[in-house]
Amino acid sequence: MQRIPKRNITKKQVTRIVIVLVISLLTSEGPVAFSAGNNDKLSDVLSAQQERIRVIEAAAKTSVSVFAGSSGGGSGVLISPDGYALTNFHVVQPAGITMRCGLNDGELYEAVLVGLDPTGDLAVIKLLGKDAFPYAPIGDSDTVSVGDTCYTIGNPFLLATNLQPSVSAGIVSGVHRYQFPAGTLLEYADCLQVDAAINPGNSGGGLFNASGELIGINGRASFEKRGRINVGAGYAISANQVQNFLGILKSGHLADHATLGATVATSADGRVVVSDILESSDTWRKGLRIDDEIIELAGRSVRSVNAFKNILGTLPAGWRIPVVFRRAGRPSEIFIELAGVHTPAMLNELMAGRRAPPSQSKPGNKPEPKPNPLAPDPADLPESIRKFYEPRFGYANFYFNRIELERVRDVLQRRKSASEQQETSWQYQGQLEAGGSFEIELGDQSATISLPTGISRWEQAAADAGLSAEAGFDSSPPGSGGMLAALTMWRRLLIQGAHNIEGRITYWGQQPLYSASTNQLADVLELTTSSCRARFFIDEFGNISQVTFFLGASSTSCDLHFDGLGKRGPYWQPTHLTVDYDGDRFATFHFEKGEQTK
């Protein structure tokens, strides 16, 4: 079993395929031969056929034929009118930062690399030159069943020299399949298995359901004794995995996959138990230990080691997921921040395809480092591409991070009102869930909280001077991990928008909100200043409903979750706020209704 690389094809193969195509053409054009007439059935069949033709016509318009000259090529599929398209990492890697892409309108478009996920074999590219591309709606791959009709559309054997993609019909042969990675790369977790043909060159193309929704990205097939041709077992990256990574990839990142820092094995009685765990992992810190039974991961039940790998393999590094485990009969739930499989430096090497096995390097004869086609000097790029490319460590193309940042800034801007002024401090009061009342005052440079246990104060000047860490100011109120500092950052982002805020702000990608009940993904902005790091979760309405705050280089976070966030007079107020430090609840604040004025 192996991935499909780009390939060169022989004349003989072309001939064979042309024959197949001619026959399939006849199929679609030919008359329907039914001897005796059950007219109802006949019209059912005919209308089903019409529907199928309609669906395939629409889907074929979104199919991208990727041509990368001597580096081969592959397929892709458009997912937005402004030209974003999905394809495989292994198609883009040899092609480099730019490639030529054909659509079935007969036009060749220039495309530029946007984001890469080497582990999951995904890439996002953007076709240039038009803002009304046809695109495929993305479906929910978890609703796909064995037996469902499916179509693969793409550029098998790079046949689409006339830019017309090939279509193959089949059924879904299996769901939630796991295909092992090569090393740490090209892992197909929770993928779809189909008997529609996936051949070399189909890589990166779309897998569609009967209603024309994109349910997967084709990229792999089981090959054996007959060489590299389809034998009825092909695999597609699930659309839901794509959705998990899409925010990260569209914003120019070099994405990484997740690890729990723990391995699992099947116990003698068939339970999935922790067999090894890194003591440096967040998982260990949150309390998971060897022999604990894993019940659920990210809201999905874990019934086998394969299921564990399937779920984990679809998640990006940096996400926070709930893990339910059982120890001595008692279940507990913890939230884990998923670590990356690679270091950023390793990913960078993988992107370049430079990580050769150690055995291949000969001592004393160090080969010249190959130029990385995925990290060119912008000056070497054609004029038309140059302005769409910005190299930066940890990113495939930082230009697109700016684009996404701009989009979220606009979302935030729309919620901003003129009455918000940083000179006015925001004041709240209410009741603690644990009992007693509280008061909070948030200013631009300082914040104060009054709790039954005492009054705490945070000051920007002290944080900047780096003095307060020892004095305990930074993390005030004590035990919260920096709640006041986090609230101040939250207020600043709301007032100033993302344009003027101090520190380096980037678009992180998308993540599910903490409230595990929802599958909705929120845009995440990451702010780094000299004294802290914070992630802001912004929903589609521009509400910053969640903040993850790290003091300095700390890996333990203070997490704020706002509920019922709304405008109360001149400033924002939630109905309640929960504050967690390192996974433990610090306090729940119930805000009193009504406006508070200075």
Partner 1 sequence: MTTRTQHATSACSRILRLVISLTVSGLALYPIPVLGGDITAVSVDAASRVVKLYGAGGIRGLESYQTGILVSSSGHILTVLSTAIDSEAIDCVLDDGRRYTASLVGADLHRELAVLKIEGINLPYFKISADSPRQAIGTRVLALSNLFGVAVGDERVSIQHGVVAAHVPLRARRGSHEAAYRGDVYILDCTTNNPGSPGGCLINWQGDCIGMLGKELRSAENATWLSYAIPTNELALSLEAILSERNDQPPVDERRASNFDIRSLGLELVPDLLNLTPPFVEAIVPDTQAAEAGLRTDDLIVAVGNRTVTSQRGLRHELSYLIPGDPIQLNIIRNGRIVLIDLGVVPSVTEPRGKGEK
Catalogue the active-site residues.
90, 121, 203
* CB-CB contact of 551 with 471 (8 Å): no
Neighbouring CB atoms inside 10 A of 377's CB total: 8
Question: Minimal distance in Å, beta carbon 517 to partner 1?
Answer: 27
* CB-CB contact of 301 with 295 (8 Å): yes
Kindly tell me which of 193 and 548 has the beta carbon lying closer to partner 1: 193
Give 479's contacts (C-beta < 8 A, 6+ positions apart).
Answer: 581, 586
Question: Minimal distance in Å, beta carbon 235 to partner 1?
Answer: 8
CA–CA distances in Å: residue 366 to residues 348, 351, 360, 361: 20, 20, 11, 7
Neighbouring CB atoms inside 10 A of 16's CB total: 14
SS (H, E, C) 191-219: EEEECCCCCCCCCCCEEEECCCCEEEEEE
Strands 426-432 and 437-442: antiparallel
Kindly tell me which of 268 and 418 has the beta carbon lying closer to partner 1: 268
Question: Minimal distance in Å, beta carbon 27 to partner 1?
Answer: 5
Question: Minimal distance in Å, beta carbon 226 to partner 1?
Answer: 7
DSSP state of 498: T
Kindly tell me which of 145 and 359 has the beta carbon lying closer to partner 1: 145
The tokens for 407 are 């989009």
Neighbouring CB atoms inside 10 A of 520's CB total: 11
Question: Minimal distance in Å, beta carbon 5 to partner 1?
Answer: 19
Q: Where are the alpha helices (DSSP H) in 378-482?
A: 383-386, 399-415, 460-465, 468-471
Kindly tell me which of 39 and 70 has the beta carbon lying closer to partner 1: 39
Kindly tell me which of 27 and 517 has the beta carbon lying closer to partner 1: 27
Phi first, then psi: what are they for 469, rounded to 5°? -55, -45
Answer left, alpha or beta for residue 72, where phi above 0 means left and psi between -120 and 50 means alpha: left
Question: Minimal distance in Å, beta carbon 306 to partner 1?
Answer: 5
Residue 446 CA to residue 455 CA, distance in Å, equals 13
Give 576's contacts (C-beta < 8 A, 6+ positions apart).
Answer: 430, 433, 563, 564, 588, 589, 590, 591
* CB-CB contact of 217 with 204 (8 Å): yes
Kindly tell me which of 218 and 546 has the beta carbon lying closer to partner 1: 218
Residue 22 CA to residue 166 CA, distance in Å, equals 11
Kindly tell me which of 306 and 578 has the beta carbon lying closer to partner 1: 306
Kindly tell me which of 306 and 332 has the beta carbon lying closer to partner 1: 306
* Residue at token pair 């929704």: 213
Residue 33 is which amino acid? A
Phi first, then psi: what are they for 100, rounded to 5°? -100, 135
Neighbouring CB atoms inside 10 A of 406's CB total: 12
Kindly tell me which of 194 and 525 has the beta carbon lying closer to partner 1: 194
The tokens for 397 are 């193309």
DSSP state of 22: H
The tokens for 476 are 């005030």
Query: Which stretches of the chain bind partner 1, using CB under 8 A?
Result: 1, 23-24, 26-33, 44-45, 48-49, 51-52, 145-149, 169-174, 176-179, 193, 195, 210-211, 222, 224-226, 230-233, 270, 303-307
Q: Measuring CA to CA, which residue among 461, 458, 423 is closest to residue 440?
A: 458
Kindly tell me which of 32 and 418 has the beta carbon lying closer to partner 1: 32
Kindly tell me which of 180 and 541 has the beta carbon lying closer to partner 1: 180
CA–CA distances in Å: residue 479 to residues 204, 453, 582: 49, 11, 10
Question: Minimal distance in Å, beta carbon 29 to partner 1?
Answer: 8
CA–CA distances in Å: residue 175 to residues 188, 189, 274, 463: 12, 10, 25, 52
Question: Minimal distance in Å, beta carbon 153 to partner 1?
Answer: 14
- Assign 569 to helix, strand or coil: coil
Phi first, then psi: what are they for 511, rounded to 5°? -145, 155
Question: Minimal distance in Å, beta carbon 89 to partner 1?
Answer: 22
Question: Minimal distance in Å, beta carbon 49 to partner 1?
Answer: 6
Question: Minimal distance in Å, beta carbon 13 to partner 1?
Answer: 17
Neighbouring CB atoms inside 10 A of 252's CB total: 27
